Amino acid sequence: MSGTAGQVIRCKAAVAWEAGKPLSIEEVEVAPPQAHEVRLRILFTSLCHTDVYFWEAKGQTPLFPRIYGHEAGGIVESVGPGVTDFQPGDQVLPVFTGECGDCSHCKSEESNMCDLLRINTDRGVMLTDGKSRFSIKGKPIYHFLGTSTFSEYTVCHVGSVARINPAAPLDKVCILSCGVSTGLGAALNVAKPKEGHSVAVFGLGAVGLAAAEGARLSGASRIIGVDLNPNRFNEAKRFGVTEFVNPKDHKKPVQEVIAEMTGGGVDRSIECTGNVQAMISAFECVHDGWGVAVLVGVPNKDDEFKTHPMNLLNERTLKGTFFGNYKPRTDLPGVVEKYMNKELEVEKFITHSVPFTEINKAFDYMLKGEGLRCIIRMGD
């Protein structure tokens, strides 16, 4: 164990004190890990749209003060009682969901939605004892998604941490712990396009472009990108997108436009916006008889998906996916190996990099729609 094992660590963290206000770099105390927990030193983290959504407190119960962040890479500093599968020094990716290994979902080959550790946006404390491991002068600071990576040190449940190749560069592969794997897995594990297939991708942010990358790796011959922002079209070509449709350029519904372009519909579609109308379009634009539509984006809580039952009876398939159907501890190391083997490029997703002291710049880039992923260097 390290020299700090069992002790409170004082370090810097970016704390959100209230909704929508810039994060404040503070000295926080990080308590030692308890049973089934590990304490990590975060080296690189990235900003995901989910962090921004909850920081803005849109559509959910606000919980402040809080430490956000869930896309990251680091090393194990120490482990709590009962932890046998990690050692200090292990290189890891913390993940916003988890894999306890014991529940029916974890034992199923078909699911990655762990009963114990699946995403919970409302919980701001650890499962072990219902307390936070973060505090400032004795006042608890809430966790976020069980990861809270906008801190130089954090504590995670052991089931929400994936050990990866120690040679993998954390400043690159840290982005595989959320958005990129979500989109990539939606294509490779769920839509499963075949060689020569046509694929429509709705939403060309980081998740959508990762889905396009997955379609490209699968051998899709046509990848149609659908987005309301034409500025994204040039960049999307680097991810295998071959054609573009802006729904604003057409008077008819975009599903009809795509059906005309493709002789009846695409073989596969992947929806990555969370807009319920885009979800309906993504389903209705797939070919009858064999078309498969996959929903990735998270809708607003009051949204309703409406389509005519004949669209299903005509042998179209509608699927949903969570984290690309990857089991975090079992499958994420293999995604990192795809990068190490040069099968997967992650560098093209990284458009900005800032030191930790300038973390609010990363929020500015995302709010302005500039770039894809901004790496935050914790040591700077």
Catalytic residues, which ones? Answer: 48-50, 70-71, 100, 103, 106, 114, 118, 178, 373
Residue 330, phi then psi, degrees to nearest 5: -80, -45
> What is the C-alpha separation between 36 and 158, in angstroms, rounded?
5
Chain-centre distance for alpha carbon 145: 11
Copy the structure tokens of residue 356: 């930790």
Q: Measured in Å, how far apart are the chain's first and last C-alpha atoms?
A: 25
Which letter, b or e, does each residue of 129-152 get, where b requires 16 or more Cβ atoms within 10 Å of its Cβ?
eeebbbeeeeeebbbbbbbbbbbb
118 within 8 A of 112, measured Cβ to Cβ: no
DSSP E strands in the chain: the ranges are: 9-15, 24-30, 37-46, 71-79, 91-94, 134-136, 139-141, 153-157, 161-163, 198-202, 222-226, 243-245, 268-271, 292-295, 317-320, 350-355, 373-377
